[in-house]
Amino acid sequence: MKELAIFTKAMIRERRDILLSILGGFAAGLAGVGLFAASGYLIAQTVFAPPLYTLIMLTSLVKILGLVRAASRYGERLFSHRATFSLLGRLRTAFFSKLVPLTPGILNRTRSGELLARIVGDVESLQFYFLRVAYPPVMVVMVFLATMLFTAAFSIWAALLLLAGMLMAAFGVPALVMIGQRRVHGAVKRKRAAFSTDVTEMLFGFRDLKLYGRLNQREEELQQVSADLAASQRDDALRLLRGQALHTFLTFIISWGMLVLGAYLIVNGSLSGVFLAMLVMVSNTVFEEAAPMATLPAYKQDSEYAAKRLTDTVLSAEKQQPELPANRRSIDDEAVSVSFDEVCFQYDDEWRPALQDISLHLPAGSKTAIVGPSGSGKTSLFELLLKLRKPNRGEIRLNDIPLQELEEEHVWSKCNTVLQHGHFFRGTIRDNLLTEQTCFEDEELSFVLDQVQLKDKKLNDHVLEKGENLSDGEKQRLALARAVLHGGRLWLLDEPTSSLDYITERKVLRYVLDQAAGDTLLLISHRLAGLEHMDRIIVIEQGRIVESGTYEELVALKGYFYELKEIELQMFEASNK
C-alpha cells in the first residue's frame, strides 16, 4: 500500500534495531519451545528412573533455556520498542514538517478538533504497524519452521499437524476476525474525531455557551458522542478478545490432536512413548508465538486506514498549494510595490465570490486605506496577499514578482502584519514580542511598548493562553508593537486600532505611520477620521472596488465614501453634544 511507503522508509532507517529484535524474538521463541520440550522430556524420563547425570543435564538445560528465553525476550522487547518509538518519532517529524506549511489550506477544510484527533490518533495507530503487523508473521514463520524441523525428526505426521495448525492460526482465525472487523471499519476513529471536534468547540465556546444557556444541551450532546465512542471502543476490544480466544481454542485443539496422534504413533510403534509429553508441550508453546496473528488483520486495517487519512490530509492540502517554480525569487530589503490584476477569489462551498475583478497598483512606499462595509472582502484581500489563500483567477505581484514565485515564509518575513484576531501565547510580554527573526535588547522592547501606549506593561508580565488576561485594546497595541519590531517593509494592518479610544488611537497610529515612513502600508479601517494623510483610499463593496482616490477626490466624488464620512461626522457630533 503506497500510503505506508513513508512508514516503510522509516523502518529501513531503523533496520539495525529491527534486525536485533527479530533475532531476540527468534531466540526467545526457540528457547521457549526448547524449554518446554526439555521439561516434557524430563518429566517423561523421570518415570524410567534414568541415571542421575541425565537428570542433572536435563534440569540444567531447562534452567539455561529459561534464562536464555528471558534474556532474549528482554532484548526483543527492548529493541522492538526502541525501533517503534524511533519510528513514531520519525513519522511525527515527517508528518508535521509536511503539515506545517500546508496548515492554512488544511484548516480551510478541516475543523481544528478533527485535525488534532487525526494527527494524534492516526500517528499513534501507525506505531502498531511494526509491532503488530510487520513483525509477528516474520517471527511466526521462523519459529514454526524451526519447530517443525525439530518435530519432523520424531514424526513427520506431528510436523504436518503443526503445519496445519500454523496455517489455521495464520489465515483461518484472522479471516474469522476480519468478518466482524469489516463491518465497523474505522468506526472508532471517526467517532473519536467527532468527539474531539465537539470537545474543542465546547472548550473554545465555553463562555458563550454558558452565557446563552446552551451549555447543558451541549453537554448532553457531548455525553451522547462520548457514549457512542465508548461503545465502539468496547466493540473493538471485544473483537480483539474474540480473536485471542479463538486462537487459544485452536492451540488446545492442536495440543489434543498432538496427544491423540502421539498415542496412535506409540501404539503402532513408530514413536517412543518418552517423547509424547515433549511433543504436546512443544505444540502448546509454539502457538504462543503465533498469538499476535489473531489480531494482525485488525491492526493492519487500522494502520492502513490511519496512513491513508494522514496521506489524504497532506495530499489534498498540497493540491491546493500553488506550485513553486524551480527558480524561487525573493524580494529585496526595500519598500514593496503591490499589484492586483483582475483578481477573483471565492471561498470553498460559498455561493458568491468574496472578491471580484480586483485590479490595483500600490507603488512602493505608498500608504493606502481600505474601507468598506463588513463582509465586503477587505480581510480576504490581505489573506491573498499573505498567501494564506489562493486567488481563483488573476495575478498578485509584489515588486513585480508574481506571488506564486515567492515562498510563503519569505512573504511573511517581509510583512508587518496585524490581523483582526492576533494570537498571543502563554508566556511573558517579551515572549510575545519577539519573533523568530527578531532579537532586541529589553530597552528597545520597552521603548516600543511605551510608544504604542502600553506604558504600564512590563516585559516580564505574564500573558495567559490566547491573551486572556489582556483587554482587546491591549492585544491590539501588543500586536502593533510586534509588527513594528518585525522589521518588514510591507505593512498589512487589519483594523489594528478598532478597540482603542480616539486619543490613544491617534497617538498609536501616528507612531506606526512614522515607523512605516518610506514603507508600503495597507490599512483596513472602519473609522474614516484620520485617513486624510493616506495617499489613497480604496472603497470595497461586495467584493468589488467601487471607489478609489485621495481623500479629497473621494469627498468631491460625493459617492459611497462621502456618505460614510457624513454619517461618521454626524455620529461624532451627536456623541459630543
Q: Is 420 helix (H, G, I), strand (E, B) or coil?
A: coil
- The whole-angstrom separation of Cα 5 and Cα 153 is 42
The smaller minimum CB distance to ligand ATP, of residues 375 and 427, is found at 375
- The whole-angstrom separation of Cα 15 and Cα 82 is 11
Give the pairing type, strands 427-428 and 462-463. Answer: antiparallel
The smaller minimum CB distance to ligand ATP, of residues 154 and 345, is found at 345
Q: Is 426 helix (H, G, I), strand (E, B) or coil?
A: coil
Closest distance of CB 347 from ligand ATP, Å = 3
For residue 567, give the nearest of 531, 537, 529 by alpha carbon: 529
Q: Is 364 helix (H, G, I), strand (E, B) or coil?
A: coil
The smaller minimum CB distance to ligand ATP, of residues 181 and 376, is found at 376
Q: Cell digits for 5?
A: 511507503
Residues with Cβ < 8 Å from 284, sequence gap 6 or more?
36, 251, 255
The smaller minimum CB distance to ligand ATP, of residues 48 and 351, is found at 351
Q: What are phi and psi of 436, to 5 degrees?
A: -55, -35
Closest distance of CB 98 from ligand ATP, Å = 23
Closest distance of CB 353 from ligand ATP, Å = 9
Please, how many CA atoms are within 13 Å of residue 446, restricted to the half-sphere of its CB? 8
Q: How far is CA 238 from CA 127, 248, 451, in A?
A: 21, 15, 65
Closest distance of CB 238 from ligand ATP, Å = 42
Q: Is 492 helix (H, G, I), strand (E, B) or coil?
A: strand
- Cell 481563483 found at: 392
The smaller minimum CB distance to ligand ATP, of residues 54 and 379, is found at 379
Closest distance of CB 524 from ligand ATP, Å = 7
Number of residues written out for the chain:
577
- The whole-angstrom separation of Cα 552 and Cα 489 is 27
Among positive and negative, which fits the CA dihedral 153, 157, 161, 167?
positive
Closest distance of CB 545 from ligand ATP, Å = 12
Distance from chain centroid for Cα 575:
51
Q: What are phi and psi of 479, to 5 degrees?
A: -65, -40
Closest distance of CB 458 from ligand ATP, Å = 32
Closest distance of CB 135 from ligand ATP, Å = 45
The smaller minimum CB distance to ligand ATP, of residues 268 and 374, is found at 374
Closest distance of CB 346 from ligand ATP, Å = 9
The smaller minimum CB distance to ligand ATP, of residues 193 and 540, is found at 540
The smaller minimum CB distance to ligand ATP, of residues 157 and 560, is found at 560
Q: Packing angle between helix 472-486 and helix 442-451, nearest 10 degrees?
A: 130
The smaller minimum CB distance to ligand ATP, of residues 442 and 472, is found at 472
Among positive and negative, which fits the CA dihedral 541, 544, 545, 547?
negative
Please, how many CA atoms are within 13 Å of residue 82, restricted to the half-sphere of its CB? 16
Contacts with ligand ATP, residue ranges (CB under 6 A): 347, 350, 354, 372, 374-380
Closest distance of CB 379 from ligand ATP, Å = 3
The smaller minimum CB distance to ligand ATP, of residues 46 and 359, is found at 359
